[in-house]
Amino acid sequence: MNSIMLTGVSLSLCIKDVCEAKVRFEQVGQIIAATRMANDADFESVVGSYKRTYWRKHPDEAERYARSLWTAGKIAQPLLCNERHPGFNWDYEAHGAPSSGWCVGEVIAAPVTD
């Protein structure tokens, strides 16, 4: 099976897309978050906040997805290194993304397929 991996640029909105079946979790290669979660306590704080807001319709499911990405090291956080977050200035539709907040493959590199 040939599937394109996606890179998300919003932890809150991309996990929400997965919960709403707009994107399959298996397609998520990484999420580049605009967060500053330096440790597990920071992660728990962000997840708690997102469960009450962005993820309120699917709080437990969203937490499972986020935790899986966190423990696998698939949540990049450029702000922790004082680097710029790519933001939403990406031409998603031109790159075949399912909705805003996603890009196909790596942000810089070509799409990854398996």
Question: Taking Cα atoms as reference points, which of 44, 49, 6, 47 lies closest to residue 25?
Answer: 6
* Spatial separation of the C-alpha atoms in residues 58 and 40, rounded to whole Å: 21
For residue 67, the enclosing domain spans 6-104
This prediction has a pTM of 0.76
* Spatial separation of the C-alpha atoms in residues 64 and 70, rounded to whole Å: 10
Please say whether the beta carbons of 102 and 17 come within 8 A: yes
Report yes or no on 110 lying in a domain.
no
Report yes or no on 45 lying in a domain.
yes
Please say whether the beta carbons of 11 and 35 come within 8 A: yes
Report yes or no on 54 lying in a domain.
yes
Report yes or no on 40 lying in a domain.
yes
Give the tens place of pLDDT for each residue, 18-71: 999 988 999 999 998 989 999 999 999 999 999 999 999 999 999 999 999 999
Give the pLDDT of residue 41: 98
